[in-house]
Amino acid sequence: AQSVAQPEDQVNVAEGNPLTVKCTYSVSGNPYLFWYVQYPNRGLQFLLKYITGDNLVKGSYGFEAEFNKSQTSFHLKKPSALVSDSALYFCAVRERGNEKLTFGTGTRLTIIP
């Protein structure tokens, strides 16, 4: 079975500071890992993914994430937060061979001006 944990419901960061949104996963085999962002009353927007290759993945809007196999983590990071980054962030995992994405419970990121 595959699962994802986002241990923080809420993360507050001052504008201009670096941000990290945490995600850990559990799969039996090799994972595909994703980050999505959701703005109020909207669907999910794809940010970035890890499939294979470099552990550091760069995505949209200056976000990046690092795949750490030993720690089974895929934390989302950005060097300098913007107020417009305030949103709900979902980490998701799909085990190779499994059709379904499993989502974390989401982390609400608030950037404080």
Partner 1 sequence: GAVVSQHPSWVICKSGTSVKIECRSLDFQATTMFWYRQFPKQSLMLMATSNEGSKATYEQGVEKDKFLINHASLTLSTLTVTSAHPEDSSFYICSARSLAGYQETQYFGPGTRLLVL
Residues at the site binding partner 1, with contacts judged by CB under 8 A:
32, 34, 36, 41-46, 49, 51, 90, 94, 99-101, 103-106
We find the least distance from the C-beta atom of residue 37 to partner 1, in angstroms, to be 11
CA distance 110 to 85: 8
We find the least distance from the C-beta atom of residue 18 to partner 1, in angstroms, to be 26
Which are the contacts of 55, defined by CB distance < 8 A and separation ≥ 6?
Answer: 66, 67, 68, 69
Give whichever of 78 and 94 is closer to partner 1, judged by the CB atom: 94
Q: Which residue from 75, 85, 81 is spatially nearest to 19, judged by alpha carbons? A: 81
We find the least distance from the C-beta atom of residue 80 to partner 1, in angstroms, to be 26
Give whichever of 52 and 70 is closer to partner 1, judged by the CB atom: 52
Strands 24-26 and 3-5: antiparallel
